[in-house]
C-alpha cells in the first residue's frame, strides 16, 4: 500500500498531552494546537467560546472535522483552615480512580503546583466504610503547605489534572491521561495537514472544540458558526479487548485493528457509505460499532445544528477510559488520519443535498 503519509507527528502529540487542559481551561493546549496549525493552514482563528479553527481549501463542500481538546480534571471549590483543598469533578471521574493520585495544578504565577489526593488509611476505616465505594466528598488535596502558602499559589476556581505524563509502552501503544480527546483534536489537525499537502476542492475546517466533557458545548457553537455541509467528529471509544468488558453488550472493538466507524441514527447514511467505500479503496481496515441513539460525542450536537448537518463519528479504540492510564495504538490513529483525508477528497464537489438519505 502506497501512502505519502507514513506516521503522525509524535512530538506534537506528546506536547499536547502534557498540557493541563480540563473543560473550561483549554487555553494552553489550544495555543499549542494553533501554533501547529499556523504552519500549514490557510486561516487559523478562535471564537468567543474558545473553539479554534484551521482551514484548508475553498469548497464546496465545507467539511467540518471536530475533535474535542478538553480533558476531564479537577476544580478547587474550597480551601480549609489547615490548607487542605476540596474539589469537584470536571467531567466524569470514577472517584475510586482518584484515591492516592498525585495532582498537578496551574498556579497563579503560571508555574505547576503539585499535590496528592488524600484519604484516611485503611487502619481507621470502619466496617461499613471499607465496603462502600469512595465518594468525591471523602477526598481532599494536600499540597503539603499551610493555608497561606497554598492561597499564594492557587485558590477557588483553579483547574488541575492527575499528575501523569504520556508514555509509550511499545513502539505504538501509548498510555496517557487526557487521550480522551486530545488524541481527537490531534487527529483532525493531522488529517488537515495531510490534506493540505495535496488539497482538492473540499474546504476542510479542523476544529479543536472545547467543553465536550461537560455537555458537548463547544461543538454546538462551532457547528453553528461554520454551518458545514458535512461533518465528522473524532473521539475515542471503549475498546472491548480487555477483561471485564462485555462484548455481547458493546461489540468487538480492539486496539490496533483500525479506526471505528459508528453506525446508527446519529450517522448520515450517505456519508457512512462514502466512509466505508473510502476505507475499502485505500485498503484501510476498520471496525464498526452500532449505537442506536445520539452518540455521547460532539457528533450528536453537530447533527442537530440548524436544519441538520450530515454527520459521522470516527473513533479511536481506547482502553481504561477516564483514567490516567488511557491506552491507544497509534496505528489506529495513522489509519484514521488517512481515512479522513480520503473522505475529504471523495466528497469534493458534493453539495449538502447530496446527503439527503432517502
Ligand atoms: Zn471524548
pLDDT tens digits along 30-76: 999 999 999 999 999 999 999 999 999 999 999 999 999 999 999 99
Identify whether the C-beta of residue 69 lies closer than 8 Å to the C-beta of residue 210. Answer: yes
pLDDT of residue 128: 83
pLDDT of residue 65: 98
59 C-alpha to ligand 1 centroid (Å): 28
Identify whether the C-beta of residue 218 lies closer than 8 Å to the C-beta of residue 204. Answer: no
Give the number of C-alpha atoms closer than 13 A to the C-alpha of residue 343, restricted to the C-beta side: 32
Q: Report pLDDT digits (tens) over 173-194.
A: 999 999 999 999 999 999 999 9
318 C-alpha to ligand 1 centroid (Å): 10
Q: Report pLDDT digits (tens) over 278-324.
A: 999 999 999 999 999 999 999 999 999 999 999 999 999 999 999 99
Q: Residue 5's CB: how many other CB atoms inside 10 A?
A: 15
What's the chain's length in residues? 358
304 C-alpha to ligand 1 centroid (Å): 18
- pLDDT above 90 coverage of the chain, percent: 91
3-state secondary structure of 138: helix
57 C-alpha to ligand 1 centroid (Å): 27
pLDDT of residue 8: 82
pLDDT of residue 228: 98
* CA–CA dist 188, 202 (Å, integer): 15
Split at pLDDT 50, 70, 90, the class of 127 is: confident
Q: Which domains does the chain show, CATH number per domain?
A: 10-71+177-355 (3.40.630.10), 73-162 (2.40.30.40)
Task: Give, rounded to a whole angstrom, the gap between the first and last alpha carbons of the chain.
Answer: 35
Beta bridge partners of residue 78, listed in sequence order: 86
Angle between helices 330-346 and 179-196 (to 10 degrees): 50
91 C-alpha to ligand 1 centroid (Å): 10
Positions annotated as catalytic residues are 212
Which of 3-17, 111-125, 149-163 is modeled with the greatest confidence? 149-163
Kind of pairing, strands 52-56 and 43-46? antiparallel
* Higher-confidence position of 2 and 320: 320
Amino acid at each position: 500500500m502506497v501512502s505519502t503519509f507514513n506516521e503522525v507527528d509524535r512530538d506534537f502529540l506528546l506536547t499536547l498531552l502534557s498540557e493541563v487542559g480540563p473543560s473550561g481551561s483549554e487555553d494552553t493546549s489550544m495555543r499549542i494546537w494553533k501554533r501547529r496549525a499556523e504552519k500549514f493552514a490557510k486561516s487559523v482563528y478562535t471564537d468567543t467560546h474558545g473553539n479554534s479553527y484551521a482551514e484548508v481549501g475553498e469548497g464546496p463542500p465545507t467539511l467540518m472535522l471536530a475533535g474535542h481538546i478538553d480533558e476531564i480534571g479537577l476544580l478547587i471549590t474550597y480551601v480549609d483552615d489547615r490548607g487542605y483543598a476540596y474539589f469537584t469533578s470536571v467531567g466524569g471521574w470514577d472517584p475510586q480512580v482518584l484515591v492516592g493520585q498525585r495532582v498537578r495544578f496551574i498556579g497563579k504565577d503560571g508555574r505547576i503546583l503539585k499535590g496528592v489526593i488524600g484519604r484516611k488509611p485503611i487502619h481507621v476505616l470502619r466496617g461499613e466504610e471499607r465496603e462502600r465505594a469512595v465518594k468525591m466528598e471523602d477526598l481532599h488535596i494536600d499540597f503539603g503547605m499551610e493555608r497561606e502558602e497554598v492561597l499564594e499559589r492557587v485558590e477557588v476556581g483553579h483547574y488541575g489534572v492527575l499528575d501523569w505524563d504520556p508514555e509509550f509502552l511499545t513502539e505504538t501503544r501509548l498510555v496517557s491521561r487526557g487521550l480522551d480527546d486530545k488524541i481527537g483534536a490531534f487527529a483532525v489537525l493531522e488529517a488537515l495537514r495531510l490534506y493540505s499537502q495535496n488539497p482538492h476542492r473540499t474546504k476542510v475546517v479542523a476544529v479543536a472544540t472545547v467543553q465536550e466533557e461537560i455537555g458537548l458545548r463547544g461543538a454546538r457553537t462551532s457547528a453553528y458558526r461554520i454551518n458545514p455541509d458535512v461533518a465528522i467528529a473524532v473521539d475515542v471509544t471503549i475498546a472491548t479487548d480487555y477483561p471485564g468488558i462485555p462484548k455481547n453488550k458493546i461489540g468487538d472493538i480492539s486496539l490496533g485493528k483500525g479506526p471505528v466507524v459508528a453506525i446508527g441514527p446519529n450517522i448520515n447514511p450517505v456519508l457512512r457509505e462514502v466512509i466505508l467505500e473510502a476505507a475499502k479503496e485505500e485498503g484501510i481496515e476498520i471496525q464498526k460499532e452500532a449505537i442506536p441513539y445520539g452518540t455521547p460525542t460532539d457528533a450528536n450536537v453537530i447533527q442537530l445544528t440548524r436544519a441538520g448537518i450530515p454527520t459521522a463519528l470516527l473513533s479511536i479504540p481506547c482502553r481504561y477510559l477516564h483514567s490516567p492510564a488511557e491506552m491507544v495504538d497509534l496505528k489506529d490513529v495513522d489509519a484514521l488520519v488517512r481515512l479522513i483525508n480520503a473522505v475529504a477528497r471523495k466528497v469534493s464537489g458534493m453539495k449538502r443535498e447530496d446527503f439527503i438519505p432517502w
